[in-house]
Structures are given as structure tokens and as C-alpha cells.
A and B are shown apart, each in its own frame.
Chain A
Amino acid sequence: MQQPELIPHLFRTEYRKIVAVLCKRFGFYEMETAEDIASDTFMLAAQTWGLKGIPPNPVAWLYTVAKNKAKNFLHRQATFSSKVATASAATETPSSIPEYEIDLSPQNINDSQLQMMFAICHPTIAREAQIGLSLRILCGFGIEEIADAFLTNKETINKRLFRAKDKLRSTNIPIELPGSSEIDERLNAVLATIYLLFSEGYYSISNNNTLRKELCFEAMRLCYMLVENKQTNKPPVNALLSLMCFHASRFEARMNENGELILYDEQDTSLWDTDLISKGSYFLNCSATGNQLSKYHIEAAIAYWNTQKNDTREKWESVLQLYNRLLQIEYSPIAALNRTFALSKANGKEEAIIEAEKLQLTSNHFYYTLLGELYTGIDNVKARSHFEQALSLAKTNTDRGVIQRKVNQLTS
């Protein structure tokens, strides 16, 4: 790899490791220092590698520089506090300066990242802030990229991160894995954030396709870290990873070259990533232990059926029953709409129309799109009026494009 692409590449993979280790070592009070040291390290790399060439082992170079900067910081801090302590209390000063070792071993990097994950996803931190902090600290995203993903500006993201860091400090959240009595509950919060991160990428209205894909794969990477650790390798974690693999397998097929959404029925299945589909199946199998049935298990099972393109009765009956159960665990408008679509496939359109009209999700354009589809072929006049209602509610050009095509098919 040549220097121009090497540094951004290393930044993406190494920045977050250095920050996690230093932050764990310094505590949240010196979080900014940890970030500054990591940033300075890359700045120095950019300056010196350009002049002297790339060192034989660039990662080791980065770690050494970061370690030295961290040691200097700890040394200065100790000197300062001992001087202040001497001046104020005139007590004995420690006769020897302790050695400040910074442990950048793969084991400690992994542990620190996991511990940071649990700290950032602490229930007292607002969800939005958890996402922002995760992207910054755990994924090493730049402020600009985060702003881009949320379709907002850098100031907003900076303010949000600032408040979140303040909260981490004031609540004194420990940077550690929770004990076994607490872990399931805390893990739920971590999984919720990871899934939100994934969805942000998968369903985002941002036009930056590369960035969206990266968000998805970062979410999967974080989840994989949990799978790799004995304490956190629990059935719902495997279920979530499975679910994300199944979804991500369609990434290339669900957008055309203009960034427009391609509906499931119209996707080119040769673009589906079979490797990710088999990984999804693998983790789905891993999730089938214990007696806990999480919503991720159900969603992963639905996602599995979505990788089966054939329109069989068995498929739609299974999907319908999975949605019936999912909705009992957690209601969401989108699950209610998907359930009704599965109902139309399993029990017929007439029954689905009756059920759809009970939902009354009248501010949701997907609701009218569904009604339009259910009425298509049964009452095209009604179908058209529902599609038109959907058009007036749709917020993005992509959505309007999809609906408009359905209207056009109605006339032809």
C-alpha cells in the first residue's frame, strides 16, 4: 500500500484502538487527551513518513509514538500533582517516579474496546449520544463523517459529543465489563446501539453509499467482538450478528447506480452476497442455544426467509407467524405493516385489506403504499387513491420514485 492511502487506512483501523487503550488507562476525565494523543500520533506519521519514507512496521511505529506521548502525559501529570500536593499539604513526595507502561497488546486492545463499548452504551447516556460516541470512539469516524451520516453539521455533532462526554464524566461510569448478574441487561443496551448503528447505515437517507456501507460493517465488527469474547458471546448477540449478515447480503442489490432503492421483488439475486448469507446461517445456528428468544432471534429468522427468493406457501406462513410473535415482544409500525404484507401472501389479499385498515397508520406513507398494493387488481381506483396519498406523505425522492412506478404499473 502506498503512503497516500496507507495513513487513512491505518487511521481507520488503529486510531480507535489507541483511543480505547488510552481512555481506559486515563479514565473519562482525560478522554480528550486520549483522542489528542491518537490524533497527534497520526499527524506526526503524516509529516515524518512523507520525508523519511514508510517505516518497516507502520503499526508498531504508531504504537511506539502513542506510548511515548502517553507516558510523557502521565509523567507531567504526576509531577504536577505531586508539586501541588507538596505545596498545599507539605507532605512527603514519593521518592521514585513510577514507570508508566502503556499496554498496546492485542489482548488489552480488545479488552479496552469491549469495556469502552459497555461504558458508552450505559443506560444513562442518551441513545443519540451513544451512537455518536460509538462512531467516534469505537469506530474512529471523523466528525465530518458522523455529521454526514446524520445529515447534520459538524457543530451539532460536536455539541452532542461534548455533552455526552460530560455525562460520562459526571456520572462516573466505570470502564469495565459488567458483572455476570448485570451483563444480560447491559448487553441489551449494547445490542440496541449496535443495531441502531447498522440501521442508520442500511436505511439512512444519506446519499453517501460508501459511508452507509461502512456504518453497517462497523456495526457488524462491533457485534463480532462481542461474539469473540466468552463473557459476551450470548445467544442474542449471535442472533443480531446473523440478522445483520442476512441484511448486508443484499447491500449491492438494493440500490441502482443512481442510488435509487430497488424493491425486494425486483432485485437481481445474483448480486446477493452468498458468503454473507452463509455466515448469517452460521450465526443463526449459534444463536439457537439456551431458552431465551430475543427479538433478534425472530428478526434473524425473518431475514433468513428473505434470503429465500421462492414465493412458497411455507415461506409466507413462517414469516407471518414470526411477525405475529415479534409484535407481541415489541410493537413497531414497520413490523405491523410487514406482518400485514405477509398475511396477504399467506391468507389472501381480502383478509389482509381488513387487517390493514385496522392499523390506521395514517401519517405513514408505507401504510398507504401497502394499501395501494393490496387493492391493486381488486379495486384499482382505490389502489390509485392510496398510492397518491402515499406520494403526498413520502419525504424522499427515492420513496416517491418507488411509489410513482407502482402508480405507472397500475395504468399500463
Chain B
Amino acid sequence: MNEYMLILRHQDGKKIASPEQMQIWMKQTMDWIGSIAAQGKFVEGNGLLFDDSKVVWHQGVVTDGPFGEIKETIGGYMVVKAGSVEEAAEFAKGCPVLQGEGNSVEVRLMAKNDGTH
């Protein structure tokens, strides 16, 4: 069994959603995580806040927030256990973030630090 990281990418992090919409997404996200956890495949995960963030560039240039120059922002991540990258991708398909056009979930195999990677 491998561990994969699902990286949740938003096309436009600045978009403001209504509180009702936020609540619906929140429930969908919790049910999605719960579904993976109910299969015993959840390892860890967290959301990344858009507020209070910086981007540090080459030669020490610092800008506010992940927005501006880059259009895409990372909204959160989750680590899952899966037998194959296909299985991990199946988990990713349920992610509510994908309801937004242009959003994506990147699935990456995590290094095991056991000398093979």
C-alpha cells in the first residue's frame, strides 16, 4: 500500500462564494473525507487558508499572497493510502473542488524515505 498526496488546485482563489454555498461545500468536503476515512484509507489532510500568506521569489523578492502573478492556488491537500495511482485518482474524483471549472486535483506518489526513492 502506497501513500499518495492529493493536491487541491483552484483556478481562481479570489472568487467570493455566498455563505450558503460555502456551507454546502463544507459539508460536501467533510462527507468526501469521511468516505475515504470510512474505507480506512485516510492518512491526513488540511486546508490552506488564502489569508495571511506570502510568496517568496528568487533573490528574496516577497509578494503578498499566492495570487497575482500566478492564477492557480493550492487550497488544500490530503494524504491517502492506495494500492495504485488509479485507486488514488478514484478518491480524487469525489473532491468537491472539482465542481469548479478549471479546478484540479493532482495525485502524487509520496516518497517512502526507505532508500528506494
User: CB within 8 Å of B: which residues of A?
Assistant: 317, 320-321, 323-325, 327-328, 331, 335-336, 339-340, 343, 347, 355, 358-359
Of A320, A325, A358, which contacts B39 at CB under 8 A? A358
Minimum Cβ distance to chain B for residue A357 (Å)? 11
Q: Does B63 contact A (CB under 8 A)?
A: no
- CB pair A327 B31 closer than 8 Å: no
B30, B33, B35, B39: residue with the most chain A Cβ atoms closer than 10 Å: B35
Residues from chain A with a CB closer than 8 A to the CB of B42 are 327-328, 331
User: CB within 8 Å of A: which residues of B?
Assistant: 27, 30-31, 33-35, 37-40, 42
Residues from chain A with a CB closer than 8 A to the CB of B35 are 355, 358
- CB pair A336 B31 closer than 8 Å: no
- CB pair A355 B38 closer than 8 Å: yes
- CB pair A339 B34 closer than 8 Å: yes
CB-nearest residue of chain A to B42: A328
Classify the interface of chain A: helix, strand, loop or mixed: helix
- CB pair A320 B37 closer than 8 Å: no
CB-nearest residue of chain B to A332: B40
- CB pair A323 B39 closer than 8 Å: no
CA distance A412 to B35 in the complex (A): 34
CA distance A325 to B38 in the complex (A): 10
Q: What 6 A-B pairs come out closest when comparing CB atoms? A: A324-B34, A327-B37, A336-B38, A331-B40, A328-B37, A324-B30
Residues from chain B with a CB closer than 8 A to the CB of A321 are 27, 30, 34
Known: A320-B34, A336-B40, A359-B39. 14 other contacts (CB 8 A): A320-B31, A321-B27, A321-B30, A321-B34, A324-B30, A324-B37, A325-B30, A327-B38, A327-B42, A328-B34, A331-B38, A331-B40, A355-B35, A358-B35
- CB pair A324 B39 closer than 8 Å: no
Minimum Cβ distance to chain B for residue A302 (Å)? 13
- CB pair A336 B30 closer than 8 Å: no
- CB pair A331 B37 closer than 8 Å: yes
B31, B37, B40, B42: residue with the most chain A Cβ atoms closer than 10 Å: B37
Residues from chain A with a CB closer than 8 A to the CB of B39 are 336, 358-359
CA distance A99 to B42 in the complex (A): 61
CB-nearest residue of chain B to A356: B38
CB-nearest residue of chain B to A326: B37
